[in-house]
Amino acid sequence: MPALIEKISGDKKVKPVAAFVIKVVAAYLLWKVLLFFFTRPNSSANSIWVAFTDWFAYKTIQPAAWILKAFGYQLVYNHRNILIANTQGMFLADHCLGVSVCVIFIVFIAAYKGKWQNKLWYIPLGLLCIYGINVIRLVGLGIVQVCCNDYFFELAHTRIYLLMSYGMFFLLIVIWMNRLAKK
């Protein structure tokens, strides 16, 4: 493939960039195809996907609920919900888990230049950071839900905390590109 890219472009500098883009696009398309099969109702893959997302949702909600309880909030929680006293509660949907962001992060770091020794510790660290920001996001949304009106909750949910999550993703990518990929 790299020889074909060089032959088409005629420029050796284009080869690594084109190879990176092709790898990322191919991996992303593969992820989308797998996700299609995982999310099809009544498929055997769907039961695996539902079990995974339910487990992951609980592992995200549980520490957020513990932190909110430590702050003195009265609440109950299960594998998908945090119900804080005197609020409508929060439901953690599949698209709020950050699984796609994690997959894109893994693909980007794996496809980008750099030593595999660094990738093997940086990918788990990055996934932990993305997970951590998601837990913080839930805690923040719980506090906002108690303290603020519905408009500010919606603003925080759809804009502020979304920017935080993607900001963490972007920061991790920039650190990789500027610091670790060059070593």
pLDDT, one tens digit per residue, over 134-180 is 999 999 999 999 999 888 989 988 898 889 888 999 999 999 999 88
Output the pLDDT for position 142. Answer: 95
| Average pLDDT across the chain, whole number | 89
Contact indicator for 136, 60 with CB cutoff of 8 Å = no
> Residue 56 in contact with residue 127, Cβ under 8 Å?
no
DSSP structure class, residue 97: S
Digit-coded pLDDT (tens) for 87-139: 999 999 988 898 988 999 999 999 898 999 999 999 999 999 999 999 999 99
d(CA 29, CA 35): 10
N- to C-terminal Cα separation, the chain: 25
Write the pLDDT tens digit of every residue in 3-52: 655 555 566 677 777 778 888 888 889 988 988 888 898 888 899 999 99
Q: In this structure, are residues 83 and 77 in contact, taking their beta carbons and an 8 Å threshold?
A: yes
Give CA–CA dist 130/102, Å, rounded: 7
The residue ranges of every structural domain in the chain are 60-180
Cα(109)–Cα(116) distance, rounded to whole angstroms? 10
pLDDT at 77: 95
Contact 134, 97 (CB under 8 A): yes
Per-residue pLDDT, 144:
95
In 3D, which of 135, 49, 160, 29 has the Cα closest to residue 94? 49
